[in-house]
Amino acid sequence: MKIVLVGYMGSGKSTVGKLVAKHLKINFLDLDEYIETAEGKSIDQIFLDHGEIYFRKKEFFYLNEILNSNSSFLLSTGGGTPCYGNNMEAIIKATKNNIYLKVSLNELVKRVLGEKAHRPLIANITDTDLPEFIGKHLFERSFYYNQAGIKISCDNKSPEELAVEIKKGLI
């Protein structure tokens, strides 16, 4: 069984993904962590040392390495992963269990507001500008996210409730 979660940062891909993987007794993989281990450095350091183009090429390479493996897994992607190269196409080709964790703009802002220091993409965005920044990104990325075969609305649901809903919706 191969399951891939996509969605914006703060949508719960890692939190919910770990719960679903535990329920299904399959490996949980975080794409960013996988890349960091394979490259021997943090995502931030990869960006600093080599730039975004290098990172996106490596992201595509490692995504495909995971997708083409013979093992069962639940993969949590980075928020931008589906939006670059042929990543979303590769995800859809590899599994029908590609799931978009859809969270409203207001809820995303609430979720990431206290985590800004740990999220490089928004670390330097003022609290006042954060809703506009996230809204713009959601608009740009929704085309890719909405290609997922399964869409789960996440507002007002606990991670446990979402994990149950995902398990019920698997193909």
pLDDT tens digits, 68-84: 999 999 999 999 999 99
Mean pLDDT across 7-35 = 97
Mean pLDDT across 10-30 = 97
Distance CA 107, CA 33 (A): 25
Distance CA 39, CA 88 (A): 22
Sign of torsion over alpha carbons 87, 76, 27, 4: negative
29 pLDDT above the threshold of 80: yes
pLDDT tens digits, 92-137: 999 999 999 999 999 999 999 988 877 878 888 999 999 999 999 9
Mean pLDDT across 7-34 = 96
What average pLDDT does the chain have?
Answer: 95
Question: Is the CB of residue 59 less than 8 Å from the CB of residue 81?
Answer: yes
**pLDDT value for 53:** 92
pLDDT tens digits, 41-50: 998 899 889 9
Kindly give the interhelix angle for 159-169 and 13-24, rounded to the nearest 10 degrees.
60
**pLDDT value for 117:** 76
**pLDDT value for 57:** 96
**pLDDT value for 121:** 81
CATH number of the structural domain 2-162: 3.40.50.300
- DSSP class of residue 78? P
What is the model's pTM? 0.94
